[in-house]
Amino acid sequence: MSGVEEINLHISNLKETLYFYEGILGFQPSKQRPQLHVPGVWYDVGQVRLCCVVNKMRKKRDIKVKLSSAEIEKVKKKLDYYKVGYVERETALFLYDPDEHSLQLQLLS
């Protein structure tokens, strides 16, 4: 194996997901999203594609995604402004998205 290409997260509410990932975390939707009969949004994060697919029947799972950012202070200010809870440890922030997927935002060194 040489790497991870894609991570799929099942989401229950596309609007909340767009607000969180784009409005708060600053992600940009991928222009390479295929035309599928499934509502959702794709994000290109470095070399990995993060696919958020609407599945209202989804079962909660313990999924953790670790992301890196050089702008962690900027993200922290947005999280505070929008009252998104997080835990800060050394050079990382730990939080949950609207569907309770666990995210770790690691400061790039």
- Where do the structural domains in the chain lie, given as residue ranges? 6-107
% residues pLDDT > 70 (the chain):
97
Cα dihedral across residues 66, 11, 44, 96: positive or negative: negative
Grade residue 5 by pLDDT with cuts at 50, 70 and 90.
confident
Is 37 buried (19+), middle (13-18) or exposed (0-12) by CB count in 10 A?
exposed
Grade residue 58 by pLDDT with cuts at 50, 70 and 90.
confident
d(CA 67, CA 109): 13
> Which uninterrupted H or E stretch holds 64?
strand 64-69
Greatest extent of the chain over all pairs of C-alpha atoms, in Å: 42
CATH number corresponding to 6-107: 3.10.180.10
Grade residue 57 by pLDDT with cuts at 50, 70 and 90.
confident
